[in-house]
Chain A
Amino acid sequence: MNKMAEVRNLYFSYGQEPVLKDINLGINRGDFIVFIGPNGSGKSTLLKLMIGELKPDRGQIQLLGKELNTLREWHRIGYMSQQIRNFNKSFPATVKEVVAAALYKEMGLIKVLNKRLEKRVDEVLELVGMEDFRDRQIGRLSGGQQQKVFIARTLVTKPELIFLDEPLVGIDLNSQEELIKLLNRLNQDLNITIIMVAHELQLIREAQQIAYFNGGEVFLYSQEDFASIGYLNKDILKAETGPEIQYSNGGDYNA
């Protein structure tokens, strides 16, 4: 099974306001796809629909070849929401405790950590370079360090597909670079499929595919096609309503 995620004829609206119209999207194992587009164009909404946090008005979503309501293997899927760092900063938990919590399903009858799972936590903290912080309280770390811990928590269940919603927001430039390297490693070395909402140019450049959201529609480009449009030369960080792109060059995706 090569298809990791598939969206077919998907419609979604917030009340009367349509946000996504007849969206079709297919994502294969090992893909690295970035969702971009102006504010309110439905990027995060599609992510939330894909992990089942929102319900579509119409259409189908499959992950790992299964409809969301029949999917049991959620541990094979990781998700980092935009609000992930909006936790109570005085919460007394350590990095280890936060990462370990994600192993709930694997803990057996008594929901506490055993030696084998503890090793998994250590390994994943090492992978993101946070092994020296395992006993530190999460609320006392910097934004970039917290984000690495949450990536570790997302990875500790050994997911094959991860969804990330604006993982670089509110993080200093050095940490941004480290995180981009880390995401690249996850995708290329560990063959983890990445679906991500982002608007940082340096992150968009790393993706193999770019899904551009506008007016309720999604246009899919390969990195090469997208670069040739000249879009990357524009300062999208400052763009309020998104770039103007000629859609007539065949970017529209049909599953």
Chain B
Amino acid sequence: MPEVFTYTFMQRAFLVGNMIALIAPLIGVFLIMKGLSQIGHTISHVALAGVALGILTGIYPVYPAILISVLAALVIEKIREKISDYAELSLSIILAAGMGIATILISLSDNSIGIMSYLFGSLTLVSELDLMIVIPMALIIIVLVFLFYSGFFYLSFNEGDARLAGVPVKLLNILFMVIISTTISLSLRIVGGLLIASLISIPVATALQLARSFKETILYSILAALLAVDSGLIAAYYLDLAPGGTIILLSVIYFLLASGVKFLRERKGFNEK
């Protein structure tokens, strides 16, 4: 067995990383197609305020991260529903507020290493407790998306038409926001708060280059994320790099490769015509 798989901390990192690679792009597809990728950035910054609060008070940081990011997500959803014209501006304000609170709480705490691991991701710090939380939560998220698959699909395609088709728009939007915030909070450990939004969006962009249907888009984006996370963790281990950055840079490379394949495919199609 290669050395990278023999250490318990790496086994934990792979387990958590692969669960995140399943759920981040899964919800990312719906988020991107709704045109709401900015929400991922905003919630991840707000989640950091939760992490800082957890470190400061000695509570397991993922819990306050989930709580605060879910609350922020519900506020965002309310704003999006009521004043869609300024939705983007509201997101910037909430992002800034989240980051501001996080910075103040971090400055009050003397555990800067702890917070750094949540900013940039960490391999060595993935704990048993992380496993116990991430795996069941990720499974619940997968089941929820599967259960409401068509509803989420219709909401991404056209919210107004979805309402007429009897899709419980409000309920599913709220559920979706809770799922996004939870996913982001769970992902902080491996990818870090500053980069998780990229793991939600880049694999989807990669899949969009190749997929011919919505289902294929979901499948390919999960494959792209799994590939990025696994190759990223291996590279980060052997080259002693920050795992978050390595994973994201590799996803960008896979995106460029997929774009190249698309270009060649289209040129071939054009020549055949």
A and B are interacting partners: yes
* A residues in contact (CB < 8 Å) with B: 51, 53, 74-75, 77, 79, 81, 84, 87-88, 90-94, 97-98, 100-105, 107, 109-113, 135, 137, 157
Q: Is the CB of B157 within 8 A of A98?
A: yes
Residues of A within 8 A of B215 (CB): 97
A104 touches B166 (CB 8 A): yes
Q: B153 and A53: CB pair below 8 A?
A: no
Contacts of B160 in A (CB 8 A): 53, 81
Q: Which residues of A contact B157 (CB under 8 A)?
A: 87, 91, 93, 98, 101
Q: Are A97 and B213 CB-contacts (below 8 A) given A87-B157, A92-B208, A111-B149? A: yes
Contact among A79, A111, A137 with B150 in the assembled complex (CB-CB below 8 Å):
A111
Q: Which of A101, A107, A109, A157 has the most CB of B within 10 A?
A: A101
20 contacts between A and B (CB under 8 A): A75-B165, A90-B208, A91-B156, A91-B157, A91-B214, A92-B208, A92-B213, A92-B217, A93-B214, A94-B214, A97-B153, A101-B154, A104-B151, A104-B162, A104-B166, A105-B165, A105-B166, A111-B148, A137-B212, A137-B213
A75–B164 CA distance with the chains assembled, in angstroms: 8
Which one, B148, B151, B213, contacts A93 given CB within 8 A? B213
User: Within 8 Å CB of A100, what residues of B?
Assistant: 150
A113 vs B213: C-alpha distance when bound (angstroms): 15
Q: Please, which residues of chain B bring their CB within 8 A of the CB of A111?
A: 147-151
Interface size class of B (residues with CB under 8 A): 20 to 34
Given A90-B208, A113-B150, 10 other A-B residues pairs in contact with their CB atoms under 8 A: A74-B164, A92-B208, A92-B214, A97-B215, A102-B165, A103-B165, A104-B151, A111-B151, A112-B150, A135-B213
Contact B149 A91 (CB under 8 A): no
Centre residue among B154, B160, B215 by max chain A CB count within 10 A: B154
* Contact across chains for A88 and B33 when beta carbons are under 8 A apart: yes
B158 in complex: contacting residue of A74, A87, A97, CB < 8 Å:
A87
- In the complex, which of the residues B150, B213, B216 contacts A107, with contact meaning CB atoms closer than 8 Å? B150
Q: A79: which B residues are within 8 A, CB to CB? A: 164
Any A CB within 8 A of the CB of B35: yes
